[in-house]
Amino acid sequence: MNPAQHEAPASSGAGDSAPPPPRGPKRGLRAAAMAAVVGGAFTLGVAVGGHGGGLVFADSSLTSRPEFATLEQTWDLIHSQWADPADLDDSALIYGAAAGMVNAIGDEGHSTFLDPEQTVEFEESTQKDYVGIGVEVDSRCGVPVVAATTKDSPARTAGLQPGDVIAEINGESTHRMTGDKLRDLVLGKAGDPLTLTIERPGTAEPLKFTLVREPIERQPVTWRWLPDKTVQLRVTGFEPGVNQKVRDALTAIRAQGAQRLILDLRGNPGGLVPEVIGVASQFLDEGTTIFLEQGREGDPRPVKTIGRTGKWLDLALVVLVDGQSASGAEVLAAALHDNHRAELVGETTFGTGTVLTTFPQDDGSSVVLGTAFWLTPDGTRVWQKGVEPDDLVSLPPDAFPSRPEDDPELTSEELEKSPDGQLRAAFDALEGTAVAHQEG
């Protein structure tokens, strides 16, 4: 993992700011935070590598393998037998074969092939803002359901509500629609209209909403007050500058008297490794192992925290995770857990667990490939397993994570009545704590 530039396609998302989705959630994990908002996000992993032309095949050249004949025969059959030869796109066939090879590795939701157009889209998705309608969705039930809307966004202004089912987009059904397709339909140019058909619980007839796309500013770090000097701090991804935003937030809440913290990593698909290291360093002493990197050869290499100026080294901490907490979010959660710094509450994380390197190709495409595994400080491989919470708490299908941006403060009564059972469980886990004593 190159600490200079780690990024990659991440966990599934739909709405307006999500990364390219994985090839389908595993183990029935809560697809909740398909949240992201169709656009882009990062996951722990991607360093920029060299061109593919210099790669050497491990066993022999591709064309000398007997299976290559099958590939050639398939190509010939398509061109000689497909019913509409004028409909064939040779580039799409080749890129599809390349994508199939990478997918066959089994690094679900992480290693991937990006054709030239997807490469450009991914690079644009990492920008600070995106153009959409400002809605986060949950696709657990095969259709996108509004989980939340962004403050002052077209979606919130129009009156979209959590629980609304997005049945159609511009007249096209969303049933079983992929995250990629959903993202393509929702994103667009500023000023362009978008019509949604909404099925709202308790409403007999579908509702029609016409919204106008506009630039939506990302808010990767938000926080709010809970009772008993407790703060919920939500981090939605480790994009550039997140470490400083977390540091600033911790400085502010500490100055205002906060003593207990719930670090909410639900739906966080990961991000840049330096940002993950920086955030971990706010909670762990200098020189503490965050994760182990294990490449093709040699022993695992520890990656440690840096600096002595962490803003939350001594106060109580609980971490919230779910099935879409992936990559860098899993790294941070496991680091805080294995170093006896925090209890984990929620659901088993996604289980990415690979360190990615991006290899740009001469035609503008890219191969994003897992070139190493990351292990927890205790040496556990997370790939395809995930990080298990200490307190397993799942949300029912009609409940969604409660976000700081939805309400700047929750009273004791509001928290008690909140449908977010994971947040309530995290608050309960802090009961009786005032100072967290770090061990190890």
Residues 195 and 262 in one domain: no
CATH number of the domain where residue 193 is located = 2.30.42.10
Cα–Cα distance, 301 to 303 (Å, whole number): 7
What are the counts of helices (DSSP H) followed by strands (DSSP E) for the chain? 10, 20
Residues 260 and 372 in one domain: yes
* Helix residue spans in 105-161 (DSSP H): 116-125, 154-158
- Provide the 10 A C-beta neighbour count for residue 343: 19
- Mean pLDDT throughout 170-193? 88
- Provide the 10 A C-beta neighbour count for residue 216: 25
Cα–Cα distance, 350 to 329 (Å, whole number): 10
For the stretch 306-334, pLDDT in tens is: 999 999 999 999 999 999 899 999 999 99
* DSSP secondary structure of 157-170: HHT--TT-EEEEET
Residue for token pair 């007839």: 205
CB 302 within 8 A of CB 289: yes
pLDDT at 127: 61
Residues 255 and 311 in one domain: yes
Q: Work out the pLDDT band at 126, boundaries 50, 70, 90.
A: low
What six digits make up the tokens of 286? Answer: 């200098």
In angstroms, the Cα distances linking 154 to 40, 173, 202 are 19, 21, 23
Cα–Cα distance, 104 to 98 (Å, whole number): 10
| Boundary (domain end) residue, out of 160, 195, 217 | 217
Compute the mean pLDDT over every residue in the chain, rounded to the nearest whole number.
Answer: 84
Tally of domains within the chain: 2
Residue 437 has pLDDT above 60, yes or no: no
Residues 200 and 230 in one domain: no
Per mean pLDDT, which range of 10-14, 137-141, 321-325, 405-409 is the poorest?
Answer: 10-14
Residues 254 and 331 in one domain: yes
Q: Work out the pLDDT band at 203, boundaries 50, 70, 90.
A: very high
Q: Does 82 reside within a domain? A: no
| Boundary (domain end) residue, out of 190, 217, 244 | 217
Residues 203 and 243 in one domain: no
**Parent domain of 269:** 221-429
Is 176 or 267 the better-scoring residue by pLDDT?
Answer: 267
For the stretch 29-43, pLDDT in tens is: 223 233 333 222 233
Residues 231 and 378 in one domain: yes
Task: Give the strand pairing for 289-294 and 301-304.
Answer: antiparallel
* Cβ density class 18-51: b for 16+ within 10 Å, e for less: bbbbbbebbeebbbbbbbbbbbbbbbbbbbebee
pLDDT at 140: 66
| Boundary (domain end) residue, out of 158, 185, 217 | 217
**CB proximity list for 260: less than 8 A, separation 6 or greater:** 228, 229, 230, 231, 315, 316, 317, 318, 430, 433, 434
Residues 139 and 269 in one domain: no
Q: Does 197 reside within a domain? A: yes
CATH number of the domain where residue 332 is located = 3.90.226.10
Q: Does 347 reside within a domain? A: yes
- Mean pLDDT throughout 247-267? 97
Eight-state DSSP code of residue 22: P
Burial class (CB in 10 A: 0-12, 13-18, 19+), 189: exposed
Residues 274 and 373 in one domain: yes
Residue 54 has pLDDT above 60, yes or no: no
Residues 143 and 249 in one domain: no
Burial class (CB in 10 A: 0-12, 13-18, 19+), 377: buried
Q: Does 22 reside within a domain? A: no
Residues 253 and 344 in one domain: yes
Residues 270 and 211 in one domain: no
Q: Does 289 reside within a domain? A: yes
Cα–Cα distance, 337 to 353 (Å, whole number): 16
Q: For residue 96, give the 3-state DSSP assignment.
A: helix
Nearest Cα neighbor of 331 from 106, 42, 103 is 42
Q: Work out the pLDDT band at 184, boundaries 50, 70, 90.
A: confident
For the stretch 138-163, pLDDT in tens is: 876 778 999 888 888 999 999 999 88
